[in-house]
Amino acid sequence: MRLAHHEVVIALREPFVSNTGVTTEVRQRVVELAWGGLRGLGTARDADPGELDACAPALAGASPYGLRAALDALPDIGPAARSAVDMALHDLLGKATGRPLRHLLGLDGLPVPPTALSIGACPDDELVRRGRALAHWPVLKLKLTPGDDGSRAGVLRSVYPGRIRVDGNGSWDRDQALRVAEELHRHDVELLEQPVAPGRLDDLRHVHERSPVPVFADEDCATADDVLRLRGHVDGVNIK
């Protein structure tokens, strides 16, 4: 099995704004595994090229039918690089067997969960325009910034009948977060993601225990160990 990788840069149609900055493009590292005349593809953001190069010797004698052993043989690499290789191996397995992965994983017939589409920080008139244009989308995630009080969810709700989620990206202290949560509850927002800065677990739990809107962790959940660490502090976690 041969491993190759390259970067793909995708320019966004519109800049995406949040309290972490302005994003105008997305960079993805694409992994290609060649085996038996077939090609498996995987991708991840921020996958380290050097870590991917280090995987090549471990995969040289692997086959997609030994997927688990191949993953176990990988060197100590970060989750982004491991994820890209994992995807490529699964893609290769599906192509080698001539079956969709949903069949191989026993998932055939199950519904596909809806994916939230994110709307960045923007003026109210722009939010109205986007909300109307995305009225067909089942779930929208609204990014809020430190200056927001939650009322922008009402602006979106005025033109959008579907499910709304809000991502605070750690914008508020715990008292501000609770005031925002009360406002979001008025507009039937189904969850509030990362209302306080990551690392402040006591504040996160304080908000979770008092918020009328379910509270989810995002930046505070980076590894599998964090899931257990967050037990009792949130209603759920965002997994990427």
Strand partners, 30: 6, 43
Does CATH place domain 2-104 in 3.30.930.10?
A: no
How far is Cα 96 from Cα 222, in angstroms, rounded to an integer?
A: 32
Structure tokens at 90: 């699964």
Q: Above pLDDT 90, what percent of the chain?
A: 89
pLDDT for the residue numbered 223 = 86
For the cut 80, the answer to whether the pLDDT of residue 125 exceeds it is yes
For the cut 90, the answer to whether the pLDDT of residue 46 exceeds it is no
Contacts of 209 (CB under 8 A, 6+ apart): none
Average model confidence (pLDDT) across the chain: 95
Q: Are 29 and 49 in contact (CB under 8 A)?
A: yes
CA dihedral (167, 149, 186, 160) positive or negative: negative
Residue 113: pLDDT band by 50, 70, 90 thresholds?
Answer: confident
Q: Are 166 and 195 in contact (CB under 8 A)?
A: no
Neighbours of 73 (CB within 10 A): 14
Strand pairing category for 2-18 and 21-35: antiparallel
pLDDT 10s digits, 203-213:
999 999 999 99
Strand partners, 234: 231
pLDDT for the residue numbered 213 = 98
CATH (one of 3.30.420.40, 1.10.569.10, 3.20.20.120, 3.10.450.50) for 117-237: 3.20.20.120
Q: Which of 6-20, 168-182, 214-228 has the lowest mean pLDDT?
A: 6-20
pLDDT for the residue numbered 19 = 76
pLDDT 10s digits, 168-203:
999 999 999 999 999 999 999 999 999 999 999 999
Q: What is the mean pLDDT of residues 100-106?
A: 94
Q: Which of 178, 204, 190 is nearest to 153 (CA)?
A: 190
The domain segmentation of the chain, as residue ranges, is: 2-104, 117-237
Residue with tokens 């509270």: 215
Q: Above pLDDT 70, what percent of the chain?
A: 100
How far is Cα 84 from Cα 151, in angstroms, rounded to an integer?
A: 39
pLDDT 10s digits, 54-84:
999 999 999 999 999 999 999 999 999 999 9
Residue 119: pLDDT band by 50, 70, 90 thresholds?
Answer: very high
CA distances from 205 to 40, 49, 198, 237 (A): 42, 37, 12, 13
Q: Which of 49, 33, 134 is nearest to 88 (CA)?
A: 33
How far is Cα 182 from Cα 195, in angstroms, rounded to an integer?
A: 13
